[in-house]
A = this chain, B = another copy of it.
């Protein structure tokens, strides 16, 4: 079992170059420049190691965390991922910057390779899905809040979505706040970023996936509408929803029935209703 042990002395200095580079990953430009992202806490780190060892570059554990969560070192060893023992002050310094500032990493940080982020990758990810049979895609277009992006990915995963596509105007799912809100789902299902909405819509049509929008003005009630077996739910900005051009371009628009006097649903509530109604229908299919 010596393979599972760190082969260096522990990282002690909160001001080392290595620690500062990991801390900087709170920012999108640093993530792009380094081509890396970071993951905090035993649960999210376990999910990364177990689901996407191919993306995992480095693992940092405190002595305490390594003994509390022995599976982390074991997963790293199995995938030949370098494990570094780190002391608490240095670990805390790794996550001190940005939105993650108030959160404790609970002894575990991992660094991953940032996946390709461009319009072509998004189109290719759609083309890589099975050409026939039921398919559920979620498209996040101009969803600006990292916490919302993370929660939407988590809900898409729970409802059995096959793919999440983010257009380039959405928040980055690899920001520490979004990674946290994903609760591991970021590594459970394919998530691609950097999409161009027009190219995404064209790729969906090419793959016979019907793009569907929700709109308070649609005449079709979600619960009464026939939903295609291959569907892509288009989710828009928190404040003003989908832009008019995208709404116009969507072949299907449905209205979520609102029974009370609430004027609208927030984007996550609307997504939950649509995705679980899709799942419910599939269960019957």
Contact = CB atoms under 8 A, between A and B. Distances in A.
Interface residues of A, number: 37
Contact of A261 (B151, B188, B265): B188
A257 B283 contact: yes
Interface string A258-285: 1111111110110011001101101100
A262 B184 contact: yes
Number of copies: 2
Contacts of A261: 51, 157, 184-185, 188-189
Interface stretch (A96-104, A158-166, A169-177): A158-166
A260 B157 contact: yes
A223 B258 CA distance: 20
A149 to B, nearest CB: 14
A214 interface: no
A167 interface: no
Interface in A182-238: 183-185, 188-189, 223
Contacts of A159: 258-260
B276 A158 contact: no
Nearest to A282: B259
A154 interface: yes
Given A223-B283, A269-B272, A273-B272, A259 B155 contact: no
15 contacts: A157-B261, A157-B262, A159-B258, A159-B260, A160-B258, A160-B259, A184-B261, A185-B260, A188-B262, A223-B280, A223-B283, A259-B279, A259-B282, A272-B273, A273-B273
Interface of A: 51, 151, 154-161, 183-185, 188-189, 223, 256-266, 268-269, 272-273, 276-277, 279-280, 282-283
Given A272-B276, A277-B280, 7 more contacts: A154-B269, A155-B262, A157-B262, A158-B262, A159-B258, A223-B280, A268-B268
